[in-house]
Amino acid sequence: MHEKQKKHAQFVRLPVEIVKKIDEYKETKAIPSRNEAILELIKKGLSKTD
């Protein structure tokens, strides 16, 4: 990881129930990783607020 990335990288522990919902979404949409599923859900949520 680059030095700049190290400065900005933050790790957050999510509640188990949220992780379960993310994993369910990941499986139903055939998304390869949890991070991709999280980003997709965030984008989906942001588009609803427009």
pLDDT in tens, 1-11: 556 656 666 78
- 48 band by pLDDT with thresholds 50, 70 and 90: confident
Which pLDDT does position 37 carry in this prediction? 96
Side chain identity, residue 3: E
41: number of Cβ within 10 Å: 16
Length of the chain: 50
- 30 dihedral zone (left: phi>0; alpha: psi -120 to 50; beta): left
- Quote the tokens at residue 38: 């999280």
Q: Is the pLDDT of residue 22 over 80?
A: yes
Please determine, for residue 19, whether its predicted confidence score (pLDDT) is greater than 80. Answer: yes
The dihedrals phi and psi of 46, each to the nearest 5 degrees, come to: -65, -35
